[in-house]
Structure 1
Amino acid sequence: MTASTSPSSARKLFLIGLLIAIVGAVLFSTKAIVAKLIYRYDVDAVTLIAFRMIFSLPFFIVIAVWKARTAQPLNNTEKGQIVILGLLGYYLSSFLDFLGLQYISAGLERLILFLTPSFVLLLSVFLMKKKITAIEWAALGTSYLGTVLVFVHDVRIGGSNVTIGGMFVLGSAISYAIYLLASGELVRRVGALRLVAYAMCVSSVACIAQFFILRPVSMLIQPMDVYSLSMINAFFCTVLPVFLTMIAVDRIGAATASQAGMIGPVSTLFLAAWILGEPITGIQLAGTALVLCGIYLLSKKKA
């Protein structure tokens, strides 16, 4: 048995892949923290997401061009599907997410977004007539109970604004769930990395165009901190997590990478407390634990 195929070597490769997945999940979750920091300046959701896409677009263009040169050309149907998925899965979901972050805590935002797998399951029930097993119902109930627990807690503190923000982020999660469900067949034909690169290019163009339609060009003039935070948001919270997640899926599989992503809500909760000064209460910890338990049950069933 060679070293490359020995159990210890295989275990090491698995742990490296798991670490990559965890880092990717934490970085992606950190976008909520960075957004909150940017909102301390005279910046709204339209401007925030425009800066994010302006700085991340060059990276995705490079990937898209590279994949276009090494893969078969897309037909018109595939091109149309990618445009629709880009607008639905990244443009709309990101815009609603950043709108919601103006009103709710970063911890609650991450909990709501983490319900996306359960929305995929529910949509598959209504649209594809999929049957839900007892363990899946238990997973859904546990996850929703945890989110409702934190939501009610935050409403008592933040009032009606929390409801508005929560609805925006809920819309974001549902929009992304529809994207995931609709992209299943296309990702097998086009490839995951290529689809993400193309869809992100479409989303970036839409977000940037939206800015120039709705906001004056003078809004591009911002303090240097806004540019710095936007570059962090673009590279470390958008581009890099996409690559890390793809690498992790290739090394350890989608199911395990998905389970590693459960660290996201927890990391957001503690990063928000450390960086933003958001309080951590027993109710928030209990709600987070319930959501994580529910998603874990769901991921085990999928596996």
Structure 2
Amino acid sequence: MERADHQRATGAKRESSRTDPVYEPAGQPACMDEETVGIGLVLTAAVGFGTLGVLGVLAADAGLSIPSVLALRFAIASILLWTILWYRGRLQLLRGRTLAVALGLGAVGYAAQSGLYFLGLEFMTAGLVGIVLFTYPAFVVGFVLLTHPDRVTGTLLAALGCSLGGVALITGADPAGADPRGVLVVLGAAIVYSGYILVSQRTLASVDAETLTAFVLPAAAASFVAFGLATDTLAAPANATAWGVAIAIAVVATAIPVLAFFAGLERIGASRASIISAAEPAVTVALGAAVLGEPITVVTLLGGALVVGGVVLVQRERA
């Protein structure tokens, strides 16, 4: 990004827009193709992340502890990503403050969010955990409202209302199953995740998404290896089924969606990306019902429709 004068100029323009919590047209609208790609990438990430709850339940059923499955998740995903970057000739090293931030995002931010998410699966169904996590757009947009209120449009607020309304409706469909301990744990994950998103967006002003991800993932893996060793809860999968679930979590629910989300975040900003990602709980609810036999009701379907409505509103905002 800083190898030539024209590249530096381009990077400076990107930085000025990426550090905004929400991209808004200021004179010239953003490239529609870029926004279309960004929306598609974040939706792809939402589908991938939406598989995580169901796979997490299957991992527990296969006898994997939380530190074990998450250490494997991030370690396998790290190996996959570094191999891809090396093969494509895009392997880069980070230094100084950028390296410290990337490692902190992984070892603290992403590790904490993931650990709390999987802990929540011990108290609630995969669908409910996925839904409660999606209170996080409220924290993201709330932060934007406090710091940059002029950058939040009416359409974004309407989309947020649809998304959170859908979350509330789906949660209300099974209040008995919403264990208060699980709700508190997953709300903690949502708060951590909102901060993770905002810091990630600012970091992407100076480093590309693939490189940042390549350092976030192994840092998260190291956290869970250290925690597992300290608590004597780290163990390798005992059979082929456990290995299969661990690999699926690493590839389908981690490497692919993390890359897609970071790339989409670069293009459309934190608030829009977080609202579009509200498609994730609908995926989790559907998979929970199909794979795990978790209950699903008409109210749940209506809530899912509201979540998708938020995505549609964001697509209209790009015009």
TM-score, length basis structure 1: 0.77
Percent of aligned pairs sharing the same letter: 28
Compared CA separation, residues 92 and 220, structure 1 to 2 (3 A): same
2:126 to 100, 106, 129: 106
Contact 1:25 1:263 in 2 (8 A): yes
Q: Distance in 2 between matches of 1:63 and 1:113?
A: 30
Query: 1:13-52, aligned counterparts within 5 Å?
Result: 22-52=43-73
1:11 aligned partner:
none
* Structure 2 Cα separation of the partners of residues 104 and 201 of structure 1: 28
Using the TM superposition, give the Cα deviation of residue 100 of structure 1 relative to its aligned residue in structure 2, in angstroms: 1.0
**Partner SS, residue 247 of structure 2:** helix
Q: Which residue of 2 aligns with 1:235?
A: 251
Q: Are the counterparts in 2 of residues 60 and 200 from structure 1 also a CA contact under 8 Å?
A: no
1:164 deviates by: 1.7
Q: Hey, what does 1:155 align to over in structure 2?
A: 175
Q: Judging changes above 3 Å, is the alpha-carbon distance between structure 1 residues 83 and 302 closer, same or farther for their aligned structure 2 residues? A: farther
Show CA shifts across 1:144-176 (max 9, x none): 3322222233222x26xx222222222222211
Question: Counterpart of 2:61 in 1: which secondary structure?
Answer: coil
Q: In 1, distance between residues paired with 2:212 and 2:165?
A: 34
| Cα 1:18–1:149 shift into 2, 3 Å | closer
Read off the aligned partner of 1:209 and give its amino acid letter: A
Q: Which residue of 2 aligns with 1:278?
A: 294
When the two structures are aligned, how many residues end up with a matched partner? Answer: 285
Q: Structure 1 residue 123: deviation in Å?
A: 1.6
Which one of the candidate residues 114, 130, 134 is aligned to 2:149?
Answer: 130
Deviates more, 1:21-30 or 1:84-93: 21-30
Matched residue type, 2:305: A
Q: TM-score, normalised by structure 2?
A: 0.74
SS in 1 for 2:149: coil
Tell me the secondary structure at the aligned position of residue 98 of structure 2: helix
Distance 1:68 1:80 in 2: 23
| Residue 176, structure 1, aligned to residue 155, structure 2 | no
Contact in 2 for aligned 1:60/1:201 (Cα 8 Å): no
Which stretch of structure 1 is more off in the superposition, 140-149 or 170-179?
A: 140-149
For residues 120 and 66 of structure 1, do their structure 2 counterparts lie closer, same or farther at Cα, with a shift above 3 Å needed? farther
- Give the structure with the larger helix fraction: 1
Whether the 8 Å CA contact 1:145–1:287 is kept in 2: the answer is yes
Q: Give the AA of the match of 1:26.
A: V
Is the Cα–Cα contact under 8 Å of residues 68 and 233 in structure 2 kept in the other structure?
Answer: no
| Structure 1 residue 188 corresponds to structure 2 residue 205 | yes
Other structure's SS at 1:222 match: coil
1:144 to 158, 164, 189: 164
Tell me the distance in 2 between the aligned counterparts of 1:70 and 1:240. Answer: 17
> Whole-Å Cα distance in 1 between the matches of residues 47 and 248 of structure 2?
14
> What is the match of residue 5 of structure 1?
none
Would the aligned equivalents of 1:18 and 1:257 in 2 still touch at CA under 8 Å? Answer: yes
**What is the match of residue 53 of structure 1?**
74
Structure 1, residues 23-49: CA drift from partner, whole Å, max 9, x if none? 543222111111111222333322321
Structure 2 CA distance for aligned equivalents of residues 270 and 224 of structure 1: 26
C-alpha deviation, 1:111, in angstroms: 2.4
Corresponding residue SS for 1:220: coil
Contact 1:22–1:261 (CA<8 Å) still a contact in 2?
yes
Asked whether 1:224 is paired with 2:262, we answer no
Deviates more, 1:197-206 or 1:255-264: 255-264
Per the TM alignment, residue 233 of structure 1 is displaced from its structure 2 partner at its CA by 0.9
What is the rounded CA distance, in whole Å, between the counterparts of 1:75 and 1:19 in structure 2? 31
Q: Does 1:203 pair with 2:229?
A: no
Q: Counterparts in 2 of 1:54-69, with a 5 A limit?
A: 54-62=75-83
Question: Given the superposition, is the C-alpha separation of residues 123 and 213 from structure 1 closer, same or farther in structure 2, using an over 3 Å criterion?
Answer: same
Asked if structure 2 preserves the Cα contact closer than 8 Å seen for 1:64 and 1:198, the reply is: no
Map of 1:10 onto structure 2: none
- Report SS of the residue matched to 2:174: helix
Equivalent AA in structure 2 for residue 215 of structure 1: D
Structure 2 portions without partners, runs of 5+: 1-34
Report the secondary structure of 1:43's partner residue.
coil
Q: CA deviation at 1:133?
A: 4.7
Distance (whole Å) between structure 2 residues aligned to residue 106 and residue 283 of structure 1:
17
Specify the alignment match of 2:25 in structure 1. none
Deviation at 1:186, TM superposition (A): 1.7
More divergent stretch after superposition (176-185 vs 237-246): 237-246
CA distance in 1, matches of 2:288, 2:91: 42
